[in-house]
Amino acid sequence: MILAPSILTADFLRLGAEVEAALTAGIRWLHLDVMDGRFVPNISFGPPVVRALRPLAARYDAILDAHLMIVEPERYLETFVAAGCERITVHIEASTHLHRTVQTIRALGARPGVALNPATPLGALEEILPEVDLVLIMTVNPGFGGQSFIPGGLDKVARLRQILRARRLEHIDIQVDGGVNPETIGLLRDAGATVAVAGAAIFGPDRGIASAIGALRAALGEQG
């Protein structure tokens, strides 16, 4: 299972140092939660932060994965790809012309993903599923870091894995975001998730980043 730390809960006064600590601990996938204060209640950051992280990520051959929790995401795709994002995920609930948005992401040279809020049914994926490389299942309501895991997300991941098998689309990653910690990460892996986004479980006051990453790997039965 791939660990993808979310920088949302990192100390932005020490962002470079905290991200590098995660990269030194073996992380090769960074998750960037972009919020606009409209689709979700909070505002986080935009392309300048992505651009600032790009050289550091490149030094470790790590990818930058933008999760756009914004309205009209199609207006900003080119800017985020130019800033250095290799993957861009948009919300089904926020994109009116989803096929066009996904096609634009791929045409720009990035890999497209779609995200579903906890109350959005898997049926919303039916038409777009063959066009994407990743589905992000939100296991909290988006907009804030450090929230508690919504238990229904586990069954949703398992049902999505069954759908992917039935449609021979098993190459599609299932990413989970929200409440991922040593108690939940193994359950999510067993349900079929392949990428785990963790924020508060990795970054936080007085938290040793390398040891926190180690605890998540240990919960998965991995070494190091």
Residue 172 lies in a domain: yes
> Distance of CA 211 to CAs 22, 136, 163, 186, 207, Å?
10, 26, 36, 17, 8
- DSSP 8-state assignment for residue 19: H
Assess whether pLDDT exceeds 60 at residue 145.
no
Question: pLDDT tens digits, residue range 59-117?
Answer: 999 999 999 999 999 999 999 999 999 999 999 999 989 999 999 999 999 999 999 99
Say what the pTM is.
0.94
11, 33, 133, 155: which is the annotated catalytic residue? 33
pLDDT at res. 141: 79
Residue 24 lies in a domain: yes
Assess whether pLDDT exceeds 90 at residue 187.
yes
pLDDT at res. 44: 93
CB 136 within 8 A of CB 160: no
Residue 13 lies in a domain: yes
Distance from C-alpha of 27 to C-alpha of 2, rounded to nearest angstrom: 8
Residue 35 lies in a domain: yes
Residue 32 lies in a domain: yes
Assess whether pLDDT exceeds 70 at residue 223.
no
Residue 224 lies in a domain: no
Whether 33 is catalytic is: yes
Distance from C-alpha of 87 to C-alpha of 82, rounded to nearest angstrom: 12
Residue 190 lies in a domain: yes
Question: pLDDT tens digits, residue range 72-82?
Answer: 999 999 999 99
* Segment 131-159 mean pLDDT: 84
* Segment 147-174 mean pLDDT: 92
Domain count, the chain: 1
* Segment 131-135 mean pLDDT: 98
36, 65, 173, 177: which is the annotated catalytic residue? 177
Distance from C-alpha of 30 to C-alpha of 53, rounded to nearest angstrom: 10
pLDDT at res. 151: 81
Question: pLDDT tens digits, residue range 40-59?
Answer: 888 999 999 999 999 999 99
**Domain harbouring 127, CATH code:** 3.20.20.70
The parent domain of residue 46 ranges over 2-219
Assess whether pLDDT exceeds 80 at residue 205.
no
Whether 177 is catalytic is: yes
pLDDT at res. 144: 58
